[in-house]
Structure 1
Amino acid sequence: MRVRKLKIFGLYDLFDFDVSFEDNETVIHGINGSGKTGILQVLGWFVTGNIERLANVEFTQAGLEFEDAGGHLIAYQLVQDKRSSKVEIYKNQKKIGHYIRSSRAYGESQEDEDTLQQWRTELSHSLRASFIAVSRYGETRFRTRSIIPKDPYDTAYSRSTRSSLENAVWRAENIFARAQAAATNQERVVLTKLRNDLINRIAEPFSLDDSTKTGEWEERLLSVSEKIDQYSDHGTKLIDIDPDALLEAIVGDDTNKRLAAVAVVQQLERLSGIIGRHFSQVEQIRQRTRSFADALQSFFGDTYKSVTIDENRATLVFTYGEKSLFPRHFSSGEMEIFIMLTYAAFGEDGLGPPELLIIDEPELSLHTAWQERLLPTIRQLNPVGQIIIATHSPEIAATSLDHLVAVAPINAPAKEGLV
């Protein structure tokens, strides 16, 4: 599903907007205070099902138009009543629920809960979307915790601070962990099917061919051995063969041993095709993580840091020389790159590139050289998803000149038929 149009009336009680997203990539630009962040907040909180945050954005009405895989248009409308702090949600002009912001102070009503659950369920089934509000990462949140003292007469309290940026890094780490868990499960499914297919293929009868000359059997043995040696499950060979023993039997004088060795080579040739097909699927699963690590390396390598994958533990390893690094050691720009590339590669759920990726002001804290490389790198990790970015950066805009959209408030039109 793709977002095609967004109309907003009364944003911050000031602006009306009509924005189209015709392409698979949109870079929104405009001067400070022109409403870019508000546009992305309405869109981002809506498509990620975060109605609570959406209710905190001031607007009168909003209309969104989507196009599904079959080319059918789906229209949503949001109507906000500031006096009652209520947001009503309509789909194709039919009300599907509402959310009352003030009810959070007293506990949400069952009706609110039903609306939230229905909306999240509908969105999760129709659109995998991620919204990264980089422009809000500068806010610092405070957290107080008490340390239970060992001495009953001694009391100690510590105050720890963690910025929104650090919280976002922590969430990105969890996304990567979920992505690796999902990848491991996907591999397990493929390898289980492979083993079952191998067992079934081995049980199938085949005709023994001993007409080939000894030299040709040697070549065939070498070829199939090299193929099978390429395939392993994290270092463990799927089929452990002894080419030297087979070769000795093929060139030896014992006819029975020769026939047995020839039969093994033929069987291996039959099995190698099955193994190759399954391992191409495994390789695709593993390549997603490798591509992500390579993308990080293309940025972190500028300051002589190294990014590798520990495939046994399914984790990323950051080093500077011999010293191990952790995200808390990163600069703010490195943190933001880690966050944005994680969401681009794995989405909010860790299952792969999202269908819709929205980023507000990704250039913050990034060197201009990194700004130039950001959008092409995101596109490498997410080649087919819809990407919407709001930016002030000429460097980012220059990498997507054909997809620039200038935003500015419009005169408020009639509010009937928003989309």
Structure 2
Amino acid sequence: MRLEAFRATALNHLATVDVAFDESLTFITGINGTGKTSVLNGIMALLTPSLSLLDDLSFSTIEVRFSVDGKSHTVKALKSSGSITLSVAGVSDPVSFAQYTPVDEDDFFDAQDTKSHYYQEISSENAGNRTLRFLNSIPTPVFLGIDRRYRGVSRKRRTRTRGSARGRLAFGTALINSLNQAIELAEGEFAETQASRGRLSRDFVRDLLLELIDVPLPSPSFGGFDAPSPGDRKQLSEAFNSIRRFPKVEGITANDVTTRVQPTLSKVNDAVKLIPEDFDISKIASNTPEDHRVIEALLIWNSFKPNLGRIAGLSRLVADYNKRVAGVETSISSYVNLLDKFLTDSGKSIGFNDRGILEIRISDRALVPEELSSGEAQIFVLLTHLSFNEAAQAAGVFIIDEPELSLHVQWQEILVSSLLKANPSIQYILATHSPSIILDNIENAKDLTKFARA
């Protein structure tokens, strides 16, 4: 999904609002009271769709033009004389309903429950309506509003429940709820990464380990032999380097491997160094100590030469395995590096323990993510959902109201670049007061002040 434009008449106190969104990044700016939050709420009310939120907003008309899979659509709401009509261009079945009329209830929460129940009934009664069915079928933008209350800290870790965090919307009302969802996403991704790496390790062991690891030590022998060519020397040097990169797999370390192979390679390498690169084997006299040393070196080289192909094969398989593992671990390593950019200044870092549980590390202690500050928790939630939430990635649109809340200026300055790095394929729409958020992206700012003044 991509949002293309938002238009409204009589939105709160504004006569008209007309905002075109950039493909990748848009800032909604303006002084207080110019309608930044109202624009975002209007977008979400239309696309969710939320009949109750449409009731809460004050407007004559609001509409959003957007595209899904390259096809453009326009959804519009009209409010007049106590009723609301919701329609989609090209869909022949608009839905109209009377606005909720408050009843005399003393308790605010009871009144809200009554209103919520009213609009749930309208949605149920119109479940077959083509407009509602269409809007419920499209991706929903992910929205982080300004209600980010941190309601309590739970130091007792919960049992991970896979899949529960992959809902349609990324954020709950309270930040603590979104934090718990983000923890599940991160730990789930780490578990999947470890499982993939385990499968690669088993394949690696099956294909080569027992066959290639045990290289026999050469011993001098007589017979026909050749001097090492320049290609042989290069291959031997590469074998030295590649064996040091042998991966830790199935409990076998690089040290385990080099302990067995290094003596052989060292002896062969020392022997090859004694053989001149332009050596002519037909001219050896064998009657000087130097000739004897060269002959012995030639014998060592020729007895080892058949194994060089095995070492080269090992080198290729090790390189391929390491490349595959790096590919599997890219998402986790990039995610950890992004979060650590924010946490490093306070002496913290993020990681996973040997049970796959996410931890915040500081000095020699391990904290649970629920012990993060509100600003740290907000960054953790944002980057985790952008990195791993399938619903957020499917929606393709991420909307944040006042992203600067709870963030130090230094963090504000790296926020947008971090969001884009976490997921460059998403369209970001941010309503902000902060120049530190916008920085050099002033061409992406849409100022609502002109509509307020009009």
Q: TM-score, normalised by structure 1?
A: 0.69
Which secondary structure state, in structure 1, belongs to the residue aligned with residue 127 of structure 2? helix
**Equivalent residue in structure 1 for 2:380, among 305, 329, 338:** 338
Q: Structure 1 residues 380 and 12, CA, compared in 2 at 3 Å: closer, same or farther?
A: same
Structure 1 position 107, deviation (Å): 8.2
Question: Which has the larger strand fraction?
Answer: 1
Contact 1:9 1:60 in 2 (8 A): yes
**Equivalent residue in structure 2 for 1:172, among 153, 176, 182:** 182
Gaps of 5+ in 1: 142-161, 203-209, 412-419
| Paired position in structure 1 for 2:74 | 76
Which secondary structure state, in structure 2, belongs to the residue aligned with residue 94 of structure 1? coil
Contact 2:3 2:65 in 1 (8 A): yes
Q: Structure 1 residues 364 and 232, CA, compared in 2 at 3 Å: closer, same or farther?
A: same
Measured against aligned partners, the alpha-carbon deviations of 1:374-418 in whole angstroms (never above 9, x if no partner) come to 22322332334321100112322334222111014759xxxxxxx
Contact 2:7 2:16 in 1 (8 A): yes
Contact 1:37 1:360 in 2 (8 A): yes
Q: Structure 1 residues 307 and 234, CA, compared in 2 at 3 Å: closer, same or farther?
A: farther
2:314 is equivalent to residue 268 of structure 1: yes
For residues 185 and 97 of structure 1, the distance between their equivalents in structure 2, rounded to whole angstroms, comes to: 48
| Paired position in structure 2 for 1:207 | none
Structure 1 position 11, deviation (Å): 3.1
| Paired position in structure 1 for 2:120 | 104
| Paired position in structure 2 for 1:288 | 331
Gaps of 5+ in 2: 98-115, 153-171, 213-225, 272-296
**Equivalent residue in structure 2 for 1:308, among 350, 361, 383:** 350
Q: Structure 1 residues 262 and 297, CA, compared in 2 at 3 Å: closer, same or farther?
A: closer
After alignment, is 30-39 or 213-222 more displaced? 213-222
Structure 1 position 171, deviation (Å): 2.5
Measured against aligned partners, the alpha-carbon deviations of 1:167-215 in whole angstroms (never above 9, x if no partner) come to 222222233234334545665677788789989xx9xxxxxxx984575
Contact 1:130 1:357 in 2 (8 A): yes
Which secondary structure state, in structure 1, belongs to the residue aligned with residue 63 of structure 2? strand
Contact 1:65 1:76 in 2 (8 A): yes
Alignment of 1:4-403 (within 5 A): 4-12=4-12, 16-44=16-44, 49=48, 51=50, 54-55=53-54, 57-58=56-57, 59-67=59-67, 72-79=70-77, 88-90=86-88, 92-95=89-92, 98=95, 102-104=118-120, 108-109=124-125, 111=127, 119-123=135-139, 129-133=141-145, 135-138=146-149, 164-184=174-194, 212=228, 218-227=236-245, 229=246, 231-232=247-248, 241=257, 242-244=260-262, 247=265, 258=304, 261-272=307-318, 274-275=320-321, 277-282=323-328, 286-303=329-346, 305-310=347-352, 312-347=354-389, 349=391, 355-403=396-444
Structure 1 position 299, deviation (Å): 2.4
For residues 117 and 313 of structure 1, the distance between their equivalents in structure 2, rounded to whole angstroms, comes to: 43
Q: Rg bigger for which structure?
A: 2
For residues 204 and 64 of structure 2, the distance between their equivalents in structure 1, rounded to whole angstroms, comes to: 45
Structure 1 position 140, deviation (Å): 6.5
Which secondary structure state, in structure 1, belongs to the residue aligned with residue 86 of structure 2? strand
Q: TM-score, normalised by structure 2?
A: 0.65
Measured against aligned partners, the alpha-carbon deviations of 1:52-110 in whole angstroms (never above 9, x if no partner) come to 665455244432223466xx4512213256778766341x4214775977242588347
Measured against aligned partners, the alpha-carbon deviations of 1:17-40 in whole angstroms (never above 9, x if no partner) come to 211013521111112222111211
Contact 2:399 2:430 in 1 (8 A): yes
Q: Structure 1 residues 365 and 248, CA, compared in 2 at 3 Å: closer, same or farther?
A: closer
Structure 1 position 234, deviation (Å): 8.8
Q: For residue 74 of structure 1, what is the amino acid of its counterpart?
A: S
After alignment, is 260-269 or 49-58 more displaced? 49-58
Which secondary structure state, in structure 2, belongs to the residue aligned with residue 170 of structure 1? helix
Q: Percent identity?
A: 22
After alignment, is 341-350 or 287-296 more displaced? 341-350
For residues 349 and 117 of structure 1, the distance between their equivalents in structure 2, rounded to whole angstroms, comes to: 19
Equivalent pairs, count: 368
Contact 1:177 1:315 in 2 (8 A): yes
Q: For residue 225 of structure 1, what is the amino acid of its counterpart?
A: I
Structure 1 position 314, deviation (Å): 3.9
